[in-house]
Every structure is written in C-alpha cells, then in structure tokens.
Structure 1
Amino acid sequence: MRTYLLLTSLLAIAIYSCTNKEAAAPDTGPVVNNCDTLQISAAFVYGVIQSNCTFCHSGSTAPRGADFSTQDKFESFVSSNETTFRLRVLSAQADMPPSGALRQSLRDSISCWISKGMPE
C-alpha cells in the first residue's frame, strides 16, 4: 500500500511539474515606442559607450579605427560607419560588446539618437 501511495504521489508530482507554463520575460528596461517623442542626449549615449566600449576602443590601437576615446571621435566613427555600427552594436545579431549585447532599451535609445541626427 505504501509503494502504491508513493508511486501515485510521484506520478502526480511529475504531471504537475510538466505543465506548459512559460517563464516571465526578462525586464530589459523601458521600451522605446515612439522615437519622435524621446529626448536622448549625446552625453547619455556617450556615457553608455564609455561604460561598455572604450576599454577596447580607445587610442591608436582601437580595432578597425573605431576609436571612441572622445565623444567627437565616437560620433565621427558612427557618422562614417553607421551601417556597421548598427549591425555590430544595435541589431539583434549584435556581437559588440563582446561581454554581451547591451540591454534592448539602451540599443533602442542609441538607435533613436542616431536616427535623429545625433543631437547634443
């Protein structure tokens, strides 16, 4: 009788644990719904770049000439290489920074800022 109760309990636990519940989506920060209404500053964007990119992308040894050691150099690089920057940093397939893609909310904000002409 004990074996029967044990097996029945284990079966009930197995069935209950195999429900088709999805985990909650991770919080990626605020969602950018309308780029037209957002006010994103160059200082904010460059702060993100400094925190995540200038460790490697600084000075004469910066890969592929992507020197982000100053805001002007960063903006100049993005102006000249927008497609590459968007692909490598902002797209769903982003491989930069190598430590892991930026949060989606940051990628959206930077993309919006570039689309608006990189305002101060």
Structure 2
Amino acid sequence: MTTNRVNSLEGALAARAGRVDVVLEIPLPDDDCRERLIERYGHALNFQGEALAEAVARSKGDSAAHLKEMVRRLAQRSILRGVSPLVSREDVEVVFSPDEVVRNSFKRQEETVRRHVIEQDDEDDSGCR
C-alpha cells in the first residue's frame, strides 16, 4: 500500500492492526534528487540546452512517481514532433505547464474525499468482520 497522504491513513492504520507491517514516509525529492530521477527515467532522452534544468525547476514539489509520468510525456511529445529522443526546453514548458498538468492529471484533488461503503451480508456466518 502506498500513499502521498499519510495523515489520511492514520485512522485506518490504527483500526486495522496487523494489516500494515511498516509505515515509511519518503520525503519529496529535492532539486538534486529530481535531476537524477529525471535522468534515470529519461535515460534514452537527450535534453537540449537548459531543458533538464527547466524540468528540475518546474517539478519542485512533485513525487518521484509524478516525475516518472512527466518524463513519459516528454518522450511522447518528442516522438510526436518527430525528433525523438531530443527534448527541448519548449517541450518541458508545455508538458510541465499548469494547464497541461491539470488537463492530464492522474492525481486526485486534495479536496476530493472518496468513501467506500462495504456492506456485509447478514447471512455471512464466517465470523469475519
């Protein structure tokens, strides 16, 4: 089980003793770490000029998983432009632009609360709850 919202799980973790062995908080990557992650995820890409530095700057506050997704989008953009594996600063600006991130976001909004109701069958005689 993974989450970027440890605080939202605290009650669930306490109520489900034995279901989770370890709770480990991994901090968001700093500038140096983000640069290394972008290079690793985009190992087949060639970042032109200041494109890598721009990606590092625009990704401040992003998780490693989000960085991986953004590098995938940079690769797709370079393929669509017919210049793969070259990534320009313009590619970075487009992919990391707030409008693009919102349009293609796979992250749910912080305000969104999902509730799942599990109804147990009254006939269940397994003794499990």
**TM exceeding 0.5:** no
Say which structure, 1 or 2, has more relative contact order (CA 8 Å, 6+ apart).
1
More helix by share: 1
Instruction: Choose 1 or 2 for highest CA Rg.
Output: 1
